[in-house]
Structure 1
């Protein structure tokens, strides 16, 4: 895995107080952005298959809804290219301000869409377009948020600040699942008519909050130093592909479980429990809600522990632990017992979080500062592009295996082992900013 020599980022002194403030701001903005994005996953399993793909049979409608869900993930590498360029050339801050406006508007407009009965085939087309906008925005969001948080943090404590940004995911899940849990209390006819729209429409006022928070975030001191030294790459993504392609592959592998495994244990599991096993949909949604609550302290603990053992080793541990638990997790779901289902989804998410909590810390240390936004965003979102179709793949495998959950368990094992390898190799390739003078070979 030969790589070109590059200059490490300078040692820049920052206070822990400032680092904490920036990380909290990145977390709040990211939580609101993930709220917008995760709403679509839950709605794909519970609403869009019925209201936007009305002419298809039940299985085909679910597949079509998940395909639309996957469109957002395909768009994420495009967003990574666009906002990676903006973030590495013009600053992390302007990129993050743009992404939050894009996703907030796209999500709110989904809540205003007429369904298939009202306007026919135009409904799913418009849904796919808005999902595309969401995907482009999220493609630039996470990489920028974790980059700006890490670059404000003391080097020896980057793990905990990167993990703080990661808490945005379970909080976003908590908010989106909570919103759907509330509207699911409505009578079915009211839920289908207008209730499902309320969580999407809430994106408009949340956008105002997120934008206010983002406007208070200062530019990264590392980026400012790059500007002073005139060391910015002309086309950052091209430089990543030419000089750091091996690191990009490792970043994709290391991020795969945290993104893909999450959607197998949430989006696919909700669909499997509701549509295949016949479990009440409120049980499945509430299980993801409880899992998100437990994921928050697990993220903090795993991030702190990752500072001690290294984010790559922590990723390896998370991958192996999730692989070992895959079959038992689905066996619990197959019982159709609400308590067993809740335990399975909660435990699955907590194991996945062992790797996910340190994804930001690991990926930011795989790339030098002048390529960091692009490298991190591309690695994470190529993993996301793959992950977006995992619920679709899991549903197809389920149909091929006569609705037996072992096929989904095998898929989760495969994802976990890929990430374990990514963590093992990634630990050896980390750029230790205070001592590194070139890309490690």
Structure 2
């Protein structure tokens, strides 16, 4: 299935801008929770637990959002494949904005007891449902409007929303953290969440202006002539289970490694190493700045040598740097801590840059949204538990970080294998490009 009309350069620029800004605002909402889970939720919603257990419980609620992501992938994947990529993206941003703002209104455990953490978990689940459909929609709108030879660099544009969202959320918490501790823990932490209500209006305005994918328009025209295709999610499972497993492995480091080196490391530095909160937040900010540069460079490199090679190379680099990164953090020296976090985040950002091009190229258009969303968010489920697993590994090792470094190596190895398996090839049984049934689909170049 091919687009009926080529997007003009102006259309592409408008789409990329809207995709980047909308995704950045969505990730701002989502990452607020991770920072709050590391800094404040253990006191506000789990005050009866000791600090270590409270932190683990707080990260447990953080992981709930990732459990919900495949649910969002299934729901919004169906909407995106049947009713349009644009419709799915509008719904995801509304759901995220409302749930994030509501977290800022939640009473504490001291006010309503067990209902406070239960409501927190419910809202986190809805955040996860939103993100489950967000990334794949933004990525597909970008790639389905643009030429394949530029998919490496263009796929990095929505990814820029992640570090920018981190910068915004870390900056918001850094400003709130200037308040005295009593004020910060009673009401100051709520301000960044409440800001989501205002950001929602801006993000919604951007999403309403996005053009629908030309690939989906062609799919809709075909459906009018031949009738609706089979349920996209069922088709994805029936025809692409192996490719979905490859996509999960390829995506694992870019998602999971980031949360180890941001959400977990903030908690590890403040709770285990006694490093000041402002230093750890500053290290996260530095990591986000490095990530932006790495995403741009890695995306352009993917256009030259191939997206899967960049992903695999990033995995190898991460394997080599995993232990040195934590050695630097363990020094407790401000400069070395910031350098360690920045280097670690930069390494895991290499495979993150072109991963959209890698996994979207694995699937036919008819069920691409569902397959991409589900694959990516199954990797997200594993990633959501990694701060919890990391906290447990450090506790089991009496405070040592070597277990977390080994975990990072294992994630990188998975991504190297998955990226290698995802290199472009022909897939028997895919639809022919011009509607024929008997010929294999052309090779898809991530």
Question: What TM-score does the superposition give when structure 2 sets the normalisation length?
Answer: 0.94
| Deviation of the 1:294 alpha carbon | 1.8
**Where does residue 59 of structure 2 map in the other structure?**
66
Superposed, 1:17-416 pairs within 5 Å as 17-230=10-223, 233-416=229-412
Say whether the 8 Å CA contact 1:15–1:154 is kept in structure 2: no
Give, in whole Å, the separation in 2 of the partners of 1:430 and 1:47: 50
Distance, in Å, in 1 between the alignment partners of 2:8 and 2:234 is 34
Q: CA deviation at 1:215?
A: 0.4
Q: Distance in 1 between matches of 2:4 and 2:321?
A: 41
Partners of 1:96 and 1:19 in 2: how far apart?
17
Q: How far apart are residue 428 of structure 1 and its match?
A: 3.7
Tell whether the 8 Å contact from 1:365 to 1:430 is kept in structure 2 after alignment: no
1:254-305 CA deviation, whole Å, 9 max, x = no partner? 1111110000000111111011111111110111011111211211111111
SS, match of residue 114 in structure 1: coil
1:423 aligns with 2:416: no
Q: Relative contact order (alpha carbons < 8 A, sep ≥ 6): 1 or 2 greater? A: 1
Q: Give CA-to-partner distance per residue, 1:106-150, whole Å, 9 cap, x none.
A: 000000001111111110000000000000000000000000011
User: Match of 1:438?
Assistant: 441
| Alignment check: 8 A CA contact 2:22 2:206 kept | yes
Kindly provide the CA deviation profile for residues 191-249 of structure 1, in whole angstroms up to 9, marking residues without a partner as x: 00111000000000000000000000011001000111227632111111110011100
Number of residue-to-residue matches in the alignment: 434
SS in 1 for 2:106: coil
Distance 1:190 1:240, change over 3 A: same
- Offset, 1:437: 3.7
* Equivalence for 1:5: none
RMSD after superposition: 1.8
Question: Residues 191 and 429 from structure 1, CA distance in 2 versus in 1: closer, same or farther, beyond 3 angstroms?
Answer: farther
Q: State the distance in 2 between where 1:439 and 1:121 align.
A: 56
C-alpha deviation, 1:324, in angstroms? 0.7
d(CA) in 2 for partners of 1:42 and 1:130?
Answer: 16
Partner Cα separation in structure 1 for residue 426 and residue 28 of structure 2? 31
Length-normalised TM-score, structure 1: 0.95
Q: Secondary structure at the match of 1:217?
A: coil
Q: CA deviation at 1:27?
A: 1.0
Query: Cα offset for 1:59?
Result: 1.2
Describe the superposition over 1:8-60 as per-residue Cα deviations: whole angstroms up to 9, x where unpaired: 65686332331222121111111000000000000000010111001111111
CA distance in 2 between partners of 1:413 and 1:26 (Å): 32
Separation of aligned partners in 1, 2:298 and 2:107: 43
Counterpart contact for 2:45–2:116, Cα < 8 Å: yes
CA contact (8 A) 2:433 2:441 kept: no
Deviations 1:55-98 (A, max 9, x none): 11111111100000000000000000000000001100110000
Which residue in 2 is equivalent to 1:3? Answer: none
Q: CA deviation at 1:332?
A: 0.3
For 1:138 and 1:391, the matched residues in 2 are separated by 18
Task: Give distance in 2, aligned partners of 1:171 and 1:368.
Answer: 31
Quote the Cα distance in structure 2 between the aligned partners of 1:179 and 1:350.
Answer: 22
Runs ≥4 residues deviating over 2 A: 8-17, 231-234, 428-441
Superposed CA offset, 1:147-194 (max 9, x none): 001101122112222111110000000000110111111110010011
